[in-house]
Amino acid sequence: MLPKRKATMGYCGGPGRGKNIGDNGMNSEADWTQATQQFQEHLGEGWKKALESFQRMDLGGPQAGVAKLSFQPDKLMALQQAYVREASELWNQGLAGNVGRDKRFAGDAWASNPVASFSAAVYLLNARTLLGLAEAADADEKTKARLRFAVEQWMAASAPSNFMALNAEAQKRAVETRGESIARGMQNLLKDIQQGHVSMTDESAFEVGRNVATTEGAVVFENELFQLIEYKPLTPKVYERPFLVVPPCINKFYILDLQPENSLVRYLVEQGHRTFVVSWRNPDDSLKDKTWDDYIEGGALRAIEVTQEIAQAPQINALGFCVGGTILGTALAVQAARGEKPLASVTFLTTFLDFGDTGVLQLFIDENFVKFREMQMGGSGLLKGQELASTFSFLRPNDLVWNYVVGNYLKGETPPPFDLLYWNSDSTNLPGPMYAWYLRNTYFENNLAKPGKCTVCGEKVDLRRIDIPAYVYGSREDHIVPIGGAYASVNHLSGKKRFVMGASGHIAGVINPPAKKKRSYWTNDQLPKTHAEWLEGATEHPGSWWTDWSAWLKPHAGKQIAAPKSYGRGKYKVLEPAPGRYVKAKA
């Protein structure tokens, strides 16, 4: 039984400001007791319905076909008791809900609006309880993880902050602007419907080649898959071994060349490296039949060959970022199988070579999903860029989806210009056959990490045959390439290796120029089996990992020679100024 509520307890606006029982329509203690009993009955019904909803969930995987989920009785009882206790406390507090530190409800408007504050507190209680139910389920770990993910998505979408009728800040803004915020929100909604995605930044503030991707250079080669950009030297002398950057084909290369002050490309050039970058073509129907082999042979291997020929260098240095690193690593394994060794060193940034630990992404991928994709586009077709972008955004739904829904549409705000988010919205397609092969052989079956399991470009892939110095970088808070997955590469490469961990996430951790003096990085000369063991002996250093990498790269770059006076060489002529036309093609 709930404790009796005092007649002087605050009802509207919290303790000390409320009305007595009579003012609430409760004319006696009997009325209050009856209302309390009804509330308890309501809690019981709600709890029963929540359990039934969970038990009806079909999450696939090892428990597919099981009619109902079961729950561990002791955990279920503890969870139910906690829910009733916390719900009772909310009931006895009236509308003085406590939303803690949740930034969605942190504004003054929420605190001053008791109905909104109470709805947010109830929502947070329900969210905690549903996540607790997921933990209490008697299921394997992957099913539990799927349950957690489903609950998180559901709760992110159903937050009171996402609805005008419940969002106290949006309501206050509407009153203060006399409805102008609502009108602007409708305009923002119509604009986003037309462009096909939720605006994360003021996209009109940026133009590729004008104020992003501005490092001076020229396109010196192109085929149907990529353009090769050579950048103008900024030093009188350059290292004799040129540097090739292979970015992800899932996004555009200019994440590495956003603004002069945060451009990794410009940093390389300033350090005296003759720098080349692959600019992948944004696939259209003419590329719908391209395969993983095409991206290795006609992409990475061709780029290495052309860079060698232009610089007249027997060996070069190269970097692969994210999927670009997976492509580069596969290409190096193919070359090793052919007895070729064109690289003096390789750098892998937030890259999977071993897909044993892919974090939340592995929740989506099972045999049925892979077979569906293979049937859908394994022979021919395109995976649309917006589908990829939406998938990655919903890995962090509150930060990358609903935050902008609330700001753009409910509050009528125009998001501020932000180069990184402009790049994030500039999506790319993928050829279906290439994507289907990648899905099965990496995320699902992890075949790249199994010596001889994959045949690529006619060669058996064995990562152990990559016997060159390697710099492996992972970001501590990366939700796309978890730090353990990035670290796993050191267990497969045979050359001398260095692993470095940076602070922050998949992009912000990588794009961390030294001049900003932000964040930190960790080093450890020992390379045990797991990242957890490595971290125990790691040393933290303030600032950017770029300086550590630059010092590591210098001995592998060879002697310094006079910087070239022109782009290209021989048959490799200037085709157009950087950043080229491939990067400007929209999905």
Contact between residue 244 and residue 318 where contact means Cβ atoms under 8 Å apart: yes
Q: What percent of the chain has pLDDT over 90?
A: 65
- Least confident interval from 61-65, 386-390, 482-486, 559-563: 61-65
* Nearest CA-CA partner of 270 in 519, 511, 546, 471: 546
Q: Which residues are catalytic?
A: 322
Residue type at 450?
K
Per the listing, tokens 């939406």 go with 390
- Kindly indicate the confidence band of residue 27, based on its pLDDT and cuts at 50, 70 and 90: low
Whether the predicted pLDDT of 145 surpasses 50: yes
Helix extents (H) in 418-530: 419-425, 432-438, 483-487
Of residues 19 and 437, more confidently modeled? 437
- Residue-wise over 133-167: b if at least 16 C-beta within 10 A, else e? bbebbebeebbbbbbbbbbbeebbeebbbbeeebb
Distance CA 575, CA 375 (A): 39
At 495-521, the pLDDT tens digits run 999 999 999 999 999 999 999 899 999
At 233-256, the pLDDT tens digits run 999 999 999 999 999 999 999 999
Distance CA 506, CA 286 (A): 31
Write the secondary structure of 549-575 as one string of H (helix), E (strand) and C (coil).
HHHHHHHHCCCEEECCCCCCECCECCC
Per the listing, tokens 């390379």 go with 527
At 68-107, the pLDDT tens digits run 677 778 888 888 888 888 887 777 776 555 666 788 988 8
Q: What is the residue-averaged pLDDT of the chain?
A: 88
Distance CA 154, CA 130 (A): 10
- The phi and psi torsions of 14 (rounded to 5 degrees) equal 100, 175
Mean pLDDT across 53-78: 62
Taking residue 70's Cβ as centre, other Cβ atoms within 10 Å add up to 12
Distance CA 151, CA 128 (A): 10
Position 31 scores a pLDDT of 60
Position 382 scores a pLDDT of 95
Residue type at 70?
S
Position 84 scores a pLDDT of 81
Domains of the chain by start residue, with CATH: 22-175 (no CATH), 177-206+385-426 (no CATH), 217-380+429-584 (3.40.50.1820)
Question: Which helix or strand (DSSP H or E) is residue 260 part of?
Answer: none
Distance CA 250, CA 323 (A): 7
pTM of the model: 0.85
- Residue 192 CB burial class (10 angstroms; 0-12, 13-18, ≥19): middle
At 351-360, the pLDDT tens digits run 999 999 998 8
Mean pLDDT across 363-384: 91
